[in-house]
Amino acid sequence: MDDILDIQNVSKQFGPRQALNQVSFKLGSGTITGLLGSNGSGKSTLMKLIAGLAWPGSGRISILGVPVGVESKKLVSFMPDVPVTESWMNIGDALRFQQDFYPDFDQAKALRMLDFMKLRTADKVRTLSKGMNERLQLTLALSRRARLYLLDEPIGGVDPVARTKILNALMEFYEEDSSILLSTHLVTDIERIFDEVIFLKDGEIVLHRPVEELRQEHGKSVDELFREVFAEC
């Protein structure tokens, strides 16, 4: 299995605050990995470093052997935890904007995803509900032909029906030669889609295992384990 992502001894500090401490892991292709941690555990910081939007204090990150920089950005599609669209846009504008910005944007896939998500190109971005907006942001991120998708809290704050729809879309439109790293602290609803999970606690990895192994070994769901590990957070 080829490594899509390779992270070696990455640390990041904000003033006195150690946001990430000696983080190392690899992700193979064809995997959906949950990056799980409580508030402030360092999930968004790690995603930004992988996306090349911030720099680590120390350590190395590469995507398919390419060190993070201008070239690696062509391999990575990032859905940040804040919308990438502007309020004046309609959904059609958002698609055109994304296509201008990213040559690998697959317009036909985006239109199929919009249909699945029950969104229309004429819809105004400012009139979308939070759940609808998250469906749009996911459509924009997954419609790039990237090798690594970084999805920062794609189901944060949406109702269970919208969550199911978003997760179904992920499974339906995910390309098997790529990998997804998805951060969340809403473990119950989402654990069914993970192949592997990483628990990040106070900026350190405390567990990185295939989900099936965990279930067999501990006889517990990922959510139950998560609650044990993060009980005091």
Instruction: List interacting residues with ligand ATP (CB under 6 A).
Output: 14, 17, 19, 37, 39-45, 185
Which is closer to ligand ATP, CB of 37 or CB of 131?
37
CB of 139: closest distance to ligand ATP in angstroms? 22
Which is closer to ligand ATP, CB of 19 or CB of 148?
19
Tell me the residue type at 50. Answer: I
CB of 51: closest distance to ligand ATP in angstroms? 13
d(CA 105, CA 159): 29
Which is closer to ligand ATP, CB of 14 or CB of 101?
14
Look-up: residue for tokens 């090798």? 147
d(CA 17, CA 164): 36
Instruction: Kindly report the number of other CB atoms within 10 A of residue 107's CB atom.
Output: 12
Instruction: Kindly report the number of other CB atoms within 10 A of residue 153's CB atom.
Output: 20
CB of 32: closest distance to ligand ATP in angstroms? 19
Which is closer to ligand ATP, CB of 114 or CB of 198?
198
d(CA 150, CA 228): 26
CB of 12: closest distance to ligand ATP in angstroms? 8
d(CA 89, CA 126): 8
